[in-house]
Chain A
Amino acid sequence: ETGVTQTPRHLVMGMTNKKSLKCEQHLGHNAMYWYKQSAKKPLELMFVYNFKEQTENNSVPSRFSPECPNSSHLFLHLHTLQPEDSALYLCASSQGQRGAVDNEQFFGPGTRLTVL
């Protein structure tokens, strides 16, 4: 596997279910991101992890819970979601530098989530 992978690619869940999205990067990067893309809206940044520490939580509801056990893996735990949470969830990674700014982010293919 190369680049950034995401599983599952498609997920349908009920509002009472608990599920997790997984992201893995094989690029040796230190920063990982979760984005949400809803229909006809821009990509919205949700969470940022840099060197396994969460550095950004963009006012995301607590029914979304991220986890970054190491620099290569990022999870998004989902529970009691709402139908309006249906969207494409994209993971990205970047080099990540302490005290400096990255330029380029590499994206995974996304998980298409449908909440019934």
Chain B
Amino acid sequence: DQQVKQNSPSLSVQEGRISILNCDYTNSMFDYFLWYKKYPAEGPTFLISISSIKDKNEDGRFTVFLNKSAKHLSLHIVPSQPGDSAVYFCAARTDYGGSQGNLIFGKGTKLSVKP
């Protein structure tokens, strides 16, 4: 039973347009959400995060939105660039119980930005 779901395995976007990657979660105890980016043959690298007390966090071309009532977050990339082509993982964290700081990952969405 997946607690973090990325229902779109792939997304293709034209260069310069907006990329929107979606993530849904089921556990209302999650208090922190992160997005990781992964290129082939490399490990995931941290991109941006958001605390559950906020609904938006922006860093340059990347913005993450959190809708707690819908248990949904999204990553917006604008404008999209060919170098953004990678797999994007959504991850959630909870600090309850004995699993302090452990991350639960989604399956990832492969973004392709076409020139």
Contacts and interface: CB of A to CB of B under 8 A. Distances in A.
Interface of A: 4, 6, 31, 40-43, 45, 48, 55-56, 90, 92, 94, 100-110
Nearest to B89: A43
Contacts of A90: 43-44
Contact of A45 (B44, B98, B102, B107): B102
B101 A102 contact: yes
B95 interface: yes
Nearest to B41: A109
21 contacts: A42-B2, A42-B4, A42-B106, A43-B44, A45-B102, A55-B100, A56-B98, A56-B99, A100-B100, A101-B93, A101-B95, A101-B100, A103-B32, A104-B46, A105-B46, A105-B103, A106-B45, A107-B43, A107-B44, A107-B45, A108-B43
B107 A41 contact: yes
B6 to A, nearest CB: 9
Given A101-B95, A103-B32, A103-B49, A43 B43 contact: no
Interface residues of B, number: 27
A41 B87 CA distance: 13
Given A31-B101, A101-B100, A103-B49, 18 more contacts: A40-B107, A41-B107, A42-B2, A42-B4, A43-B44, A43-B89, A43-B103, A45-B103, A45-B104, A48-B102, A55-B98, A100-B100, A101-B95, A103-B34, A103-B101, A108-B43, A109-B41, A109-B43
Contacts of A6: 43
Interface in B66-108: 89, 91, 93, 95, 98-108
B59 interface: no
Contacts of B43: 4, 6, 90, 92, 107-110
